[in-house]
Structure 1
Amino acid sequence: MSGHGRARRWAVVVALLAVLAALPAVVGALPADDADLSAPDLRDAVLASAGVGFSGYAVSAGGLSLPVSDQLPAVADLLSDRATMRVWWRGPDEHRVDVVSAAGETGVHVDPAGTWSWEYESATARRSDPAALALPAPPDLVPAALGRRLLSEATDDELTRIGARRVTGRDALGLRLVPAAPAASVARVDVWADAATGLPLAVEVVADGAAVPALGTRFLDLDLGAPPAAVVAFTPPAGARVLPGEDTGGLLREAADRELSPVRLPAELAGLPRREVAGAPATVGLYGSGVTLLAVAPLPGRLAAGLRSTLAAAPDAVRDGSSTRIAAGPLGLVLVEPPRSGAYLLVGTVTLDALAHAAGALTGAPS
C-alpha cells in the first residue's frame, strides 16, 4: 500500500505542477476590458510611463542567431536566447536587472553615474560610465523599457489599435506599429500596455515575411510601486574582483582616431537621413528613425578580419564585390571593404536590398 500511496502523492505533485505551469496561459486567455483610447493617445500614455516604478519577473526570447559570437558574445546571447529577468525599477536611470540565461547569471545595476555589472559565477564586478555608443544590455529588453524605446519616434499614421488582452493578470491595451520607411525590415511591433498606467507589459517584434516574432519580451509577474533604493544599489562585496567595464565604443573611437577609412559618410543612406549622435565620432553614422535604423562604423583591421570570416561562414551570406552581408531576422549586417581603405560595418533594421544600396553608396559601386 505504501508504494501505491507514494505513487498517488507523486501523481498529485505532477498534476499541481502542470496546473501551475498552465496558469499564465489560462490567465492570459481571460477576457480583457478594452478602453476607448486612440492609438496616438495610447502611445502618449506609454511614453509618459517612464516614471512608473515597479518590480517583477519578465522573460525575453530572441531568435536572431547572430553569427558574431566571437566578437560580441554577450549581445549574441542576449538577442538569440531565452532569458529570465528579475527586475527592480525605480526609474530609467536607477534600476536593477538580474538575468539568468544560458550564459550564466548576471546582475546589472544602473545609477545616474553609470552601471555596475555583477557576474555571480566569477564574482566579478565591472563599472561602466554612461556612453553615447553602447551595445544592447539586459535592461533594454525589459518590456517597459523596450516598449517605450520602440514607440518613442512612432508617427500617428504608423499606429493602430489591436484590442486588449490580459498580461500578468492586468488589462493590457494593444498598439501596433507598422514602419512607414520603405527600407524597413520590421513588419510590425506589437506593444501591450497596462490600461491603468500605460506601462508596456509585453512587446513583440516581427520581421518582414516572418510568422513568429524575432524578439519578444513580457512580464510574468508585476508589482507596481518603486522598490527600495537599497535593493537597486550595488557595492562590490568583499573579495570580489573589480574591473573597468567593457568599453563598447572603444573600437569605434580607435578606428576614428586612426582614420582607418577615408570614406566620407553621406547625408543619406538607403533613403534614410543621417541623424546626430551626441558624443559619437564623426566617422560613425546613424541613419533613420523609430524602428528603422542603420548604423555605420569603421572597424580596425583585426576586428574586420575576424568578422569577415564569421560572416562568410554563415549559410545565407551574400558576397557582392567588396561587401559581405547577412540577415538575422529583421537585423541586417554588411561588412564593406572598399579598395585601398579601411573596413566599415553597416548594421540595422533594414532590408538586405537597402544594405546593398548603402554599401554601394559608400564604395562608389553600383547598387
Structure 2
Amino acid sequence: MLRRRWRWAVVALGLAVLVSLPALVEALPAADRDVSAGELRERVLASDDVAFSGYAISTGGLTLPVSDALTGVADLLSDQTSLRAWYRGADDWRVDVVTATGETGTHRDATGTWTWDYADQAASRGTLPPLALPTAPDLLPSALGRRLLSEATDDELSRIAPARVAGVDAPGLRYTPADTAASVSAVDVWVDPGTGLPLRVVVRGGDTTTPALDTRFLDLSLATPDASTTDFRPPPGADIRSDQDLTDVDLGRQERADLPATLADLGRRGFDGVPEQIGVYGSGITVLAVSALPGRAAAALRDQLAATPGAVTDDLGVRIAAGPLALMVAGTSTRDGGTGTYLLAGTVTLDALATAARQIQEAAS
C-alpha cells in the first residue's frame, strides 16, 4: 500500500486545487484600492500571522488516472470540498472537512498535526515531512495564495479588477508565470486590503476560459479564535495511528542515471530528507517532479497512462495532461546496459515533459 501511495506522491507537488462555485454576492460591484501589484504581493506574504475563522468551499476540476490507493487525494482534486477553519498562527490552527456524513478535523501545533475522524473515532499524528501528499488544509485560499505567490517576481505580477469576496471589496492580483515550460497561464488572487489575507485563488491553464483550480472564502471573521478551539488531545479509547512519511519509502535497488541539474530549462531544487531518486525542478507555480519507479509499479502505471484518452506514446514513454497537470512514465538505458524508469509530474506542458525525458535519457547514456 505504501509503495502504491509513494508512486503518486510527486503528483501532489505544486498542487492545491480547485474550481469555481458561483456566489451571487460577487455580482455586486467592488471598490478598488490604489496599491501596486508588488505591494499587494508583499501584503499577502506577510499575512501568515493574521488570525481568522471562516468557511471556504472548493470544487476540484482535475481527473487523474489514480487507483484506490489515493482515493482521498483524487477527491480533493476532482470533487467539492467544504472547509471550516480556525487560524491563530502558522503553528496553531484547525481545519475541518465538512461532509453530509460527518467531519474530519486537522489540528496543527508546534511539532506536527493531529487528524481526527469523528465517524471512526480515530486520530493520526503527522510530523510534517518534507514530501507529503496534499490535504484539505492546503485548499484554503489563505494558504494557497501565499504558497503560489511566494516565488513570483515583480515582472510576473500585474493588477486585475477587484472582486467582492466574503463581503469584502478585494483588490485583484495576477501572477503570469514567465517560464516557457509552464502549463499554468495565470494565477489570480483577491486579497483582503487591510490584512493581506488571500480570500480567493483561481488557477487557469492553457487557453481555456474555465478555471482549472479555484478556492474561496464564503464567510470570514478576523477575530482571533479561542485556543481551546484549535487545541486537540485524543480522547480516551480513541484509535491512534501515525501518518506515513513518503520519504521513508524503499525506492528499490535498480541502477539509475543521476538526475541532471536542469531539466526543460528548470533548475533542480534541494529539500532536506527527500531521497536522491526524487528530483524537484522549477519555482513558483511551475514545478516538475521526477521520481525513479520500481519495475512492477512502472509497468502498471505505464499501462494506466496509456489507456487514458489523449495519451501520447512514443520512444520517450507515455505522457498525458489532466488540466494544467502533466504526467509521464519515461524509460532510460544506463551505460552498463541496465534500464531505469521514471515518473515525471508537474505543472508543465507535454512538450516540456518530452524535453525533460530526453535529457534524462542523455544523462543515462
Superimposed CA distance per residue, residues 226-279 of structure 1 (whole angstroms, 9 cap, x where no aligned partner): 21222112222233211111323333xx11xx4434211101001111112122
Superimposed CA distance per residue, residues 171-192 of structure 1 (whole angstroms, 9 cap, x where no aligned partner): 1110011100000000100000
Measure how far apart 1:342 and its partner are: 3.3
Equivalents in 2 of 1:231, 1:260: separation in Å?
A: 49
Deviates more, 1:29-38 or 1:289-298: 29-38
Equivalents in 2 of 1:25, 1:287: separation in Å?
A: 37
Superimposed CA distance per residue, residues 134-188 of structure 1 (whole angstroms, 9 cap, x where no aligned partner): 1111111100000000000000011110121211111111001110000000010
Measure how far apart 1:101 and its partner are: 5.2
Q: 1:65 aligns with which of 48, 51, 63?
A: 63
Measure how far apart 1:322 and its partner are: 4.8
Q: Does residue 254 of structure 2 align to residue 260 of structure 1?
A: yes
Equivalents in 2 of 1:239, 1:302: separation in Å?
A: 40
Q: Give the structure-2-normalised TM-score.
A: 0.88
1:1-367 counterparts in 2 under 5 A? 25-100=23-98, 105-251=103-249, 254-255=250-251, 258-339=252-333, 340-364=338-362
Equivalents in 1 of 2:119, 2:245: separation in Å?
A: 22
Task: Give secondary structure in 1 for the equivalent of 2:134.
Answer: coil
Measure how far apart 1:104 and its partner are: 6.7
Between Structure 1 and Structure 2, how many residues are aligned?
339
2:54/2:220 contact within 8 Å kept: yes
1:261/1:343 contact within 8 Å kept: no
Of the two, which has the highest radius of gyration?
A: 1
Deviates more, 1:46-55 or 1:63-72: 63-72
Measure how far apart 1:343 and its partner are: 2.3
Measure how far apart 1:210 and its partner are: 1.6
Structure 1 68/261 Cα, relative in aligned 2: closer, same or farther at 3 Å? farther
Q: Read off the aligned partner of 2:51 and give its amino acid letter.
A: G
Superimposed CA distance per residue, residues 194-217 of structure 1 (whole angstroms, 9 cap, x where no aligned partner): 011110000000111221111100
Superimposed CA distance per residue, residues 82-130 of structure 1 (whole angstroms, 9 cap, x where no aligned partner): 1000111112222111113599742111212111122233222111112
2:321/2:327 contact within 8 Å kept: yes
Q: Read off the aligned partner of 2:360 and give its amino acid letter.
A: L
Structure 1 103/183 Cα, relative in aligned 2: closer, same or farther at 3 Å? farther
Task: Give secondary structure in 1 for the equivalent of 2:246.
Answer: coil
Q: Read off the aligned partner of 1:288 and give its amino acid letter.
A: G
Structure 1 100/319 Cα, relative in aligned 2: closer, same or farther at 3 Å? farther
Equivalents in 1 of 2:106, 2:208: separation in Å?
A: 32
Runs of 4+ in 1 over 6 A off after TM superposition: none
Deviates more, 1:204-213 or 1:330-339: 330-339
Structure 1 49/33 Cα, relative in aligned 2: closer, same or farther at 3 Å? same
Same amino acid, percent of matched pairs = 57
RMSD: 2.0
Of the two structures, which has the highest relative contact order with CA contacts closer than 8 Å and spacing of 6 or more? 2
Superimposed CA distance per residue, residues 334-356 of structure 1 (whole angstroms, 9 cap, x where no aligned partner): 11232433321111100001001
Measure how far apart 1:221 and its partner are: 0.5
Measure how far apart 1:300 and its partner are: 2.8
Task: Give secondary structure in 2 for the equivalent of 1:174.
Answer: strand
Equivalents in 2 of 1:216, 1:331: separation in Å?
A: 15
Structure 1 309/123 Cα, relative in aligned 2: closer, same or farther at 3 Å? farther
Task: Give secondary structure in 1 for the equivalent of 2:163.
Answer: strand
Equivalents in 2 of 1:49, 1:33: separation in Å?
A: 21
Q: Read off the aligned partner of 2:325 and give its amino acid letter.
A: L
Q: Give the structure-1-normalised TM-score.
A: 0.87
1:52/1:225 contact within 8 Å kept: no
Equivalents in 1 of 2:223, 2:357: separation in Å?
A: 48
Q: Read off the aligned partner of 1:236 and give its amino acid letter.
A: P
Equivalents in 2 of 1:217, 1:319: separation in Å?
A: 34
1:81/1:102 contact within 8 Å kept: no
1:337/1:343 contact within 8 Å kept: yes
Equivalents in 2 of 1:153, 1:363: separation in Å?
A: 30
Equivalents in 1 of 2:348, 2:101: separation in Å?
A: 29
Measure how far apart 1:285 and its partner are: 0.9
